[in-house]
Structure 1
Amino acid sequence: MAFTRATGKHRRPSRVQRGTARAAGVAALAGTGVVGSFAAPALAAEPAAAQTGLTPVVTLGDVVADRIDAQAAAQHEAARVAAQEAARKAAEEAARERAVEEAEKARAEKERAAREAERKRLNTFVSPIPGSYVSTGYQSGGAIWSSGSHTGIDFHAASGTPVHSVGVGTVVEAGWGGAYGNQVVIKMHDGTYTQYGHLSSIGVSVGQEVAAGEQIGLSGATGNVTGAHLHFEARMSPEYGSDLDPVAYLRSHGVNI
């Protein structure tokens, strides 16, 4: 008897199909009484449908999926925590930078204010006798002066009137000055000199630093004078003969005279 096979592509039967076919064949053999010694081992060797591994595969797939989900959730949480920590550190760093910047600005402002205050202090000038007036002008002529003219200006003042330094400086002379009587000479911060003559008393000493408006003595009538007053000079050096116009000097420093 000849067997024919249909044309076309054939696939190998699946494992389940093979198992079903074997079971049908065994049943057919049992109907004919031909169930030999090989039948039982053949059936025993073929696993049941419940033992084909399909159910364990499904269960294992669920476990793996659960583990993947758990790992993904853990990674997401770790990423979230890391992002929060990075944001916290960034905020702290930004706060530190702002604090440093503000401290630097405050320091710079403090230094600027200090420089401005010092500049103002050094450039502040006042009249040697506030409220007084010039009674004898600069370079006035007369026999009373050995040079033939007045080398300074005289401020009207009764004896004992407080006399002030016109600006910031250092005392370079404090004592008897011959025709000037008791005198004080101050080297100003800009390198010029100021002289205060005919004092009745002296309140400073050589080397002492004085500020604008600081009292340095009292007016009087010591030396070559006809009456109490303050003789004031502005000089290029501490020496006689280097005089400047005192009125122009004081006005150039903002003194209203």
Structure 2
Amino acid sequence: MPAQARRIALPRAARIGIATAVTGVSFALPLVTAMSAQAHPAPAAAVTAAPAAAPADRAQASSQESYRVVSGDTLSKIADAQHVDGGWQALYDHNREVVGGNPDLIFPGQKLVVAGQAAPAKPAAPAKPAQPSAQDAAPATTAAKPQAQLEVQTEAAKPSAQLQTQLQTAAPTTAVAAVPVAAASTFVAPLANPKLGTAYGVAGSMWASGHHTGQDFVASTGTPLRAVGNGVVVKAGNGGAYGNEVEIKLADGHYAEYAHLSSIGVKIGQTVKAGQQIGLSGATGNVTGPHLHFEIRNGSEYGSDINPVAYLRAHGVAL
């Protein structure tokens, strides 16, 4: 019996040992799992933290980016192309010292800091369409205000019926009276009862320029000559081939030249009025007989002549 009991006890011990071993393994597995979870927390945290850190890095890098202006650029174009958060206003605010006081005036070669750059694929992007719709609604309200103001201003600007009648009655009288007075007081012919002689522009070897630079008026020696318009005398003396000459700078900037005078009645620097006598006609200088050689010039010197008859006629003088 003791031997048999020992044989029976051995299998029991083995069973107990096996059961104990199995139980120990079952306890060990949860323990290993728990320990593994505690020993390796970093990978899970790294996976979670990496995406959050990336946008911040990109934002920091984009805030330091720069853009060099090329021909045809505007702040609006650059802001759209670079996805600048806040548009051209934000871009201008960050580069005010470079651009200056006028945001519409930028030059090729300027280096702009592209700050606050918005990511193109930003999750919040789908929410932006709601913003334009609000902006689209604003102009409709704003546009109505100027229209209302315009209507009010238009009504206020309309003259009364009585004032309209007064204006319509007075206007024709004023217009008719002003034109003849202005024409008569501004320009006159260089002498009374003018009779045209050799015309302006006639070709010939007797003239240094190859053509007649003025308009001749038939006048015997001693015929009074007069200023064709208001002006200042700039020449009064002997002019070589022109003989005794007088030149007047007219109020509109042209010059009136009188040549071959027998006597001069004005001095340099003297102010003259249209119709005022400036001298007497004669035959001094290179001439074949007494007459008035009259020129209109763009400048004071010889060679800047224009057609004097056309000039005087354009100013209301009958020739």
TM-score (norm 1): 0.53
- The letter for the 1-side match of 2:302 is Y
Per-residue CA distance 1:109-159 (angstroms, 9 max, x = gap): xxxxxxx89x93896100001202111100112222111110000000000
| Structure with larger Rg | 1
- The letter for the 2-side match of 1:238 is S
Q: Which of 238, 248, 265 is matched with 1:176 structurally?
A: 238
1:155 aligns with 2:208: no
Gaps (5+ residues) in structure 2? 1-177
Q: Residue in 2 aligned with 1:206? A: 268
Helix, strand or coil for the counterpart of 2:258?
strand
Q: Residue in 2 aligned with 1:252? A: 314
Q: Contact 1:121/1:168 (CA < 8 Å) preserved in 2?
A: no
Q: Contact 1:122/1:167 (CA < 8 Å) preserved in 2?
A: no
Give distance in 2, aligned partners of 1:120 and 1:244.
23
Give distance in 1, aligned partners of 2:285 and 2:205.
15
Give distance in 1, aligned partners of 2:318 and 2:184.
18
Instruction: Tell me which stretches of 4 or more aligned residues in structure 1 moved more than 3 Å.
Output: 119-123
- Larger helix fraction of residues: 2
Q: Residue in 2 aligned with 1:131? A: 193
- The letter for the 2-side match of 1:175 is G
Kindly, what percent of the aligned residue pairs are identical? 60
Give distance in 1, aligned partners of 2:273 and 2:182.
12
1:228 aligns with 2:290: yes
Give distance in 2, aligned partners of 1:221 and 1:174.
16
Give distance in 1, aligned partners of 2:277 and 2:206.
28
Worse-superposed segment, 217-226 or 142-151: 142-151
Deviation at 1:228, TM superposition (A): 0.1
Give distance in 2, aligned partners of 1:126 and 1:237.
21
Q: Contact 2:225/2:281 (CA < 8 Å) preserved in 1?
A: yes
Q: Residue in 1 aligned with 2:33? A: none
Q: Which of 180, 183, 186 is matched with 2:248 structurally?
A: 186
- Structure 1 residues 123, 252: CA separation in 2 closer, same or farther (over 3 Å shift)? farther
Higher-RCO chain (CA-CA 8 Å, sequence separation at least 6): 1
Q: Which of 144, 156, 175 is matched with 2:206 structurally?
A: 144
Give the length in aligned residue pairs. Answer: 142
Structural RMSD (CA): 2.0
Q: Residue in 2 aligned with 1:196? A: 258
1:238 aligns with 2:264: no
